[in-house]
Chains A and B, each alone.
Chain A
Amino acid sequence: MDDPIRLLLILIPALPLAAAVLIGLLGPRVLRQQSHWLAIAAVLASFLCSLLLMRELSFLQRAAGAGGEVALGIGYEEVRRLWTWTDVADAYQQPRTPPGESRESLVGGGSRDFRIDIVLRADSLTCMMLVMVTLIATLVAIYSAGYMHGDPGYWRFFAYFGLFVFSMTMLVSVSNFVLLYVFWEAVGLCSYLLIGFWYQKPAAAAAGKKAFLVNRVGDFGFALGVFLIWTTYGTLNFHDSLRGGELEPARIQQAVAAERAGEVVPAEQEPVAGVFGPLRLADNELRPAGQPRTSAMISLAICLLLLLGACGKSAQFPLHVWLPDAMEGPTPVSALIHAATMVTAGIYMIARCTPLFLVSPDAQLVVSVVGGFTALLAALIALTQYDLKRVLAYSTVSQLGYMFLALGVGSLAGVTAGMFHLFTHAFFKALLFLGAGSVMHAMGNVIDMRRFGGLRRVMPVTYITFAVGCLALAGVFPLAGFWSKDAVLGAVHDKVHELEPHDSDSHGPAPHGPAPHGPAPHDSSPHGSAEGGGTQAVERPESSADDDVTPVFGLSNLLRGQIFHWLYLLGLMTSFLTAFYTFRAFYLTFHGPELIPPEAGRHAHESPASMTVPLGILAVCSALVGLLLDRSYLDGTNSFANWLLWTPSLGFPAAMRTTLPGEFHLSVAGWSTLMALGGIGLSSYLYLGSRHEIHGIRQFFDLAWVSGWSDVESFARMRQWRVARWVRECSAAVGLEWLLRLVVGALLLVVLVLSAPLLLLYYVSPYKLSYHRFYLDELYELVLVRPLRGLARLCYGIDRWLIDGTVNFVGRVPRQIGDVMRSLQMGLVPFYALAMVLGLLILLAVQLLG
Chain B
Amino acid sequence: MDTATLLLVTILLPLAGAVALWPVAALGTRAVRWTALAVTLATLLLTVLVIWDFYPDHVASTEREWTWLGAGEQIQFGIGLDGISVWLFALSALLMVTAVLVSWEAIDDQVPQFYALLLLLECGCLGVFAARDLIMFYVFFEFTLIPLYFLIGIWGSEDRKYAASKFFLFTLAGSLLTFLGLLSIVWWKAAYVAGGELTFSIAELAAAVQQAAGTPRAMSPGFQAVLFAALFAGFAIKVPLFPLHTWLPLAHVQAPTAGSVFLAGILLKLGSYGFVRFCLPLLPDATYLFAPWILWIAVIGILYGALIALAQHDLKRLIAYSSVSHLGYCLLGVFALNPLGLQGGTLQMVNHGLSTGGLFALVGMLYERYHTRDIQQLSGLARQVPRLAFFMLVFTLSSIGLPGLNGFVGEFLVLLAMFQRAWQEPLPGWGLHLKAISVLAVFGVVLGAWYMLWLVQRVFFGPLKHPSGGHDGAPPRDLAPREILALAPLAVVMVWIGVAPNFFLRPMDGPLREVEAAVARPLQEGLQNREPVAEKRPQTGLENLTRAR
> Which of the segments B80-88, B224-232, B281-289, B455-463 contacts the partner chain?
B455-463
A209 at the interface (CB under 8 A from B): yes
CB-CB contacts below 8 Å: B153-179 with A: 166, 169-170
On whether A87 and B310 interact (CB within 8 A), knowing A93-B424, A227-B416, A803-B246, the answer reads no
B60 at the interface (CB under 8 A from A): no
- The answer to whether the Cβ of A262 comes within 8 Å of any Cβ in the partner chain is no
Residues in chain A near residue B423, CB distance under 8 A? 228, 231
Tell me, rounded to whole Å, the shortest Cβ–Cβ distance linking B501 to chain A: 5
Stretch at the interface among A198-206, A393-401, A488-496: A198-206
Stretch of B16-24, B37-45, B254-262, B406-414 on the interface side: B406-414
The yes or no answer to B449 lying at the interface (CB within 8 A) is yes
Using CB atoms, name the residue of chain B closest to A199.
B461
Query: In chain A between 189 and 235, which residues have their CB closer than 8 angstroms to a CB of chain B?
Result: 189, 196, 199-202, 204-206, 208-209, 212-213, 216-217, 219-220, 223-224, 227-228, 230-231
Do residues A220 and B442 form an inter-chain contact, with CB atoms below 8 A?
yes
Q: How far is the CB of A255 from chain B (nearest CB, A)?
A: 23
CA distance A534 to B114 in the complex (A): 84
Tell yes or no: B511 within 8 A of A by CB.
Answer: no
Which of A88, A213, A792, A807 has the most chain B CB atoms closer than 10 A to its own CB?
A: A88
B312 at the interface (CB under 8 A from A): yes
Determine the chain B residues whose CB is within 8 A of the CB of A114 once the complex forms: 339-340, 413, 416
Nearest chain A CB to B527's CB is how many angstroms away? 11
Q: Are A84 and B420 in contact (CB under 8 A)?
A: no
Using CB atoms, name the residue of chain A closest to B451. A792
In the docked arrangement, what's the CA distance between A228 and B442, Å?
13
- Interface residue? B538 (CB, 8 A): no
The answer on a CB contact under 8 Å between B246 and A804 is yes
Q: 1/0 per residue A81-116: CB within 8 Å of B? A: 001111111111101000000000000000000100
The answer to whether the Cβ of A69 comes within 8 Å of any Cβ in the partner chain is no
Q: Provide the residues of chain B in CB contact with A83, threshold 8 Å.
A: 500
- Interfacial chain A residues near B413, Cβ < 8 Å: 86, 88, 114
Asked if B453 and A178 make an inter-chain contact with CB atoms under 8 angstroms apart, the answer reads no
Q: A791 and B307: CB pair below 8 A?
A: yes
CB atoms of B383 and A209 under 8 A apart: no
- A208 contacts which of B169, B311, B457 (Cβ < 8 Å)? B457
| A85 in contact with B403 (CB, 8 Å) | no
Nearest-neighbour CB distance to chain A for B488, whole angstroms, equals: 13
Q: Are B340 and A91 in touch, CB under 8 angstroms?
A: yes
A795 close to B449 (CB less than 8 A):
no
> In the complex, which residues 445-474 of chain B have their Cβ closer than 8 Å to any Cβ of chain A?
445-446, 449-450, 453-454, 457, 460-464
Report if B439 contacts A (CB, 8 A).
yes
How many residue pairs bridge A and B at CB < 8 Å?
149
Q: Are A227 and B438 in contact (CB under 8 A)?
A: yes
Q: Is the CB of B505 within 8 A of A87?
A: yes
**Cβ of A212 and Cβ of B449 under 8 Å apart?**
yes
Cβ contact within 8 Å between A213 and B461 = no
Chain B: which residue is nearest A230 at the CB level?
B416
Q: Hey, which chain B residues are within 8 Å of A89, CB to CB?
A: 339, 509
Contact with A along B500-544 (1 / 0, CB 8 A): 111001100100000000000000000000000000000000000
Decide yes or no whether B443 CB sits under 8 A from chain A: yes
Q: How large is the interface on B (under 10, 10 to 19, 20 to 34, 35 or more residues)?
A: 35 or more
Asked if A811 is at the interface of the complex by the 8 Å CB criterion, the answer is yes
Q: Which of A7-15, A180-188, A419-427, A634-642 contacts B (4 or more CB under 8 A)?
A: A180-188
Q: List CB contacts (< 8 Å) of B410-435 with chain A.
A: 412-413, 415-416, 419-420, 423-425
List CB contacts (< 8 Å) of A768-816 with chain B.
Answer: 788-789, 791-793, 795-796, 799, 803-804, 807, 811
Q: Considering the complex, give the chain A residue whose CB is closest to the CB of B462.
A: A202
Q: Which residues of A contact B500 (CB under 8 A)?
A: 83, 85
**B452 smallest CB distance to A (angstroms):** 10
Inter-chain contacts of B166 with A (CB < 8 A) = 811
Considering the chains assembled together, what is the distance between the CA atoms of A88 and B506 in angstroms?
Answer: 8
- In this complex, what residue of A is CB-closest to B443? A220
Task: Check if B143 is an interface residue, CB within 8 A of chain A.
Answer: no
Known: A91-B340, A799-B308. A86 touches B445 (CB 8 A): no
User: Contacts A209-B453, A230-B420 given: A186-B502 contact, CB under 8 Å?
Assistant: no
Task: Let me know if B496 is at the binding interface, CB within 8 A.
Answer: no
- B214 interfacial by beta-carbon distance below 8 Å: no
Cross-chain contact of B439 among A182, A224, A230, A788 (Cβ < 8 A): A224
Minimum Cβ distance to chain A for residue B429 (Å): 18
Let me know if A223 and B310 touch, CB within 8 A: no
Partner of B339, one of A88, A184, A206: A88
Set of chain A residues within 8 Å of B491, measured between Cβ atoms: none
Nearest residue in A to B508 (C-beta to C-beta)? A88
Q: How many angstroms between the C-alpha atoms of A807 and B403 in the bound complex? A: 38
**Contact A811–B246 (Cβ < 8 Å):** no
Q: Which residue of A lies closest to B421 (CB)?
A: A231
Interface centre among A86, A803, A804 (most CB of B within 10 A): A86
Question: B475: CB under 8 A from chain A?
Answer: no
Q: A186 contacts which of B311, B403, B438, B463 (Cβ < 8 Å)?
A: B403
Asked whether B446 lies within 8 Å of A216 as measured between CB atoms, the reply is yes
Query: Bound complex: CA of A644 vs CA of B365, how far in Å?
Result: 54
Q: Of B246, B311, B463, which is within 8 A of A200 by CB?
A: B463
Contact: B501 with A86, CB < 8 Å? Answer: yes
Asked if B476 lies at the interface with its beta carbon under 8 angstroms from chain A, I say no
Given contacts A213-B450, A811-B166, contact A178 B412 (CB under 8 A): yes
Contact with A along B301-317 (1 / 0, CB 8 A): 00010011111100000
Could you say which of B243, B446, B499 contacts A217, with CB atoms under 8 Å apart? Answer: B446
Provided the pairs A200-B461, A206-B457, A792-B307 are in contact, do residues A223 and B403 lie with their beta carbons within 8 angstroms? no
Contact B403 A183 (CB under 8 A): yes
Residues of A close to B494: CB separation below 8 A: none
B409 cross-chain contacts in A, Cβ below 8 A:
86
Does B304 lie within 8 Å of A811, measured CB to CB?
no
| B311 pairs with A796, CB closer than 8 A | yes
With A and B bound together, what is the CA distance between A223 and B509 in angstroms?
25
A582 to B217, CA, bound (A): 82
* Those of A452-484 within 8 Å (CB) of chain B: none
Q: Pick from A213, A219, A791, A811: contact of B453, CB below 8 A.
A: A213
Query: What's the minimum C-beta distance from B439 to chain A, rounded to whole angstroms?
Result: 7
Q: Are B404 and A186 in touch, CB under 8 angstroms? A: yes
Tell whether A788 pairs with B501 under 8 Å between CB atoms, given A86-B413, A224-B442.
no
Is B47 in the interface zone, CB < 8 Å from A?
no
User: Measured between C-beta atoms, what is the minimum distance from B5 to chain A in Å?
Assistant: 33
Instruction: State whether the Cβ of B191 lies closer than 8 Å to any Cβ in chain A.
Output: no
What's the Cα separation between A172 and B428 when bound, in Å?
Answer: 41
Say yes or no: A88-B343 contact (C-beta < 8 A), given A223-B415, A803-B243, A811-B169.
yes
CA distance A200 to B463 in the complex (A): 5
- Select from chain A the residue with minimum beta-carbon distance to B422: A231
CB < 8 Å: which of B304, B311, B402 contacts A789?
B311
Complex Cα spacing A463 to B407, Å: 48
A88 to B504, CA, bound (A): 11
A227 near B419 with CB under 8 A, answer yes
In the complex, what distance in Å separates the CA atom of A92 from the CA atom of B501?
Answer: 19
In the complex, how many angstroms separate the beta carbon of A373 from the nearest chain B beta carbon?
Answer: 24
Q: CB-CB < 8 A to B457: which residues of A?
A: 196, 205-206, 208-209
Residues of A contacting B338 in the complex (Cβ-Cβ under 8 angstroms): 91
CA distance A85 to B453 in the complex (A): 28
B403 and A216 contacting across the interface, CB-CB below 8 Å: no
Contact in complex: B383, A200 (CB < 8 Å): yes
User: Are B404's CB and A182's CB within 8 A?
Assistant: yes
Report yes or no: A795 in contact with B311, Cβ–Cβ below 8 A. Answer: yes
12 A-B residue pairs with Cβ-Cβ distance under 8 Å, sorted by A, are A85-B499, A85-B500, A92-B424, A114-B340, A114-B413, A182-B404, A182-B408, A185-B402, A208-B461, A227-B416, A227-B419, A803-B246
| 8 closest residue pairs by CB, A with B | A205-B461, A182-B403, A227-B419, A792-B310, A199-B461, A792-B311, A804-B246, A231-B423
Q: A227-B416, A231-B424, A795-B307 are in contact. List 14 more A-B contacts (CB 8 A).
A: A88-B339, A88-B505, A95-B424, A114-B416, A200-B464, A205-B457, A212-B453, A223-B445, A227-B438, A231-B423, A796-B308, A796-B311, A799-B304, A803-B246
